[in-house]
Amino acid sequence: MDIKSQTFIRTGEHVKLRRIFVIVPSLEPSGPVRGAIALCNGIVEKIPVTLVVIKHLLPCVMQLDKRVNVLDLGSISNWQAKRQRLISMLQQIGSRANVGSISFCLSADILNFTLKRYAVIASSVRGNLPKNYRYDYGPIGRFIAYGHILALHRFDFVVAMSKPMCRQLQRFGLRRLRLVDNFIDEKHLESYRYSSGRRNFSGCKFLFLGSLTKRKRPELLVNAVHKLIILGMECHLDIIGDGPMREKLKQLVQDKNLDNLVTFHGQVNLPYKLMQDADYMILPSESEGMSRAVLEALFFGIPCVLRDVDANRSIIKPGINGELFKSDDELYSVLKRIISERRLIDGKDNMLQHNNRQSVNVIKYFELFQ
pLDDT tens profile 75-125: 898 999 999 999 999 999 988 989 999 999 999 999 999 999 999 999 998
Domain 194-347 has CATH 3.40.50.920: no
pLDDT at position 344 over 90: no
How far apart (Å, rounded) are the C-alpha atoms in residues 320 and 270?
27
pLDDT at position 10 over 60: no
Nearest one of 31, 98, 12 to 290, comparing CA atoms: 31
pLDDT at position 348 over 70: no
How far apart (Å, rounded) are the C-alpha atoms in residues 187 and 239?
26
Q: Looking at this protein, which amino acid is placed at residue 171? A: R
Ordered by start, the domain boundaries in the chain are 3-187+357-369, 194-347
CATH homologous superfamily, domain 3-187+357-369: Glycogen Phosphorylase B; (3.40.50.2000)
Each residue of 128-167: pLDDT tens digit? 788 778 877 888 888 998 999 999 999 999 999 888 888 8
Whether the CA torsion 335, 339, 341, 347 is positive or negative: it is positive
- Whether 194-347 and 3-187+357-369 are alike in CATH topology: the answer is yes
Confidence of residue 3 (pLDDT cuts 50, 70, 90): very low
- Cβ count near 11 (within 10 Å): 5
Return the SS3 of 354: helix
Q: At what angle do helices 246-255 and 218-230 cross, to 10 degrees?
A: 10
How far apart (Å, rounded) are the C-alpha atoms in residues 200 and 133?
42
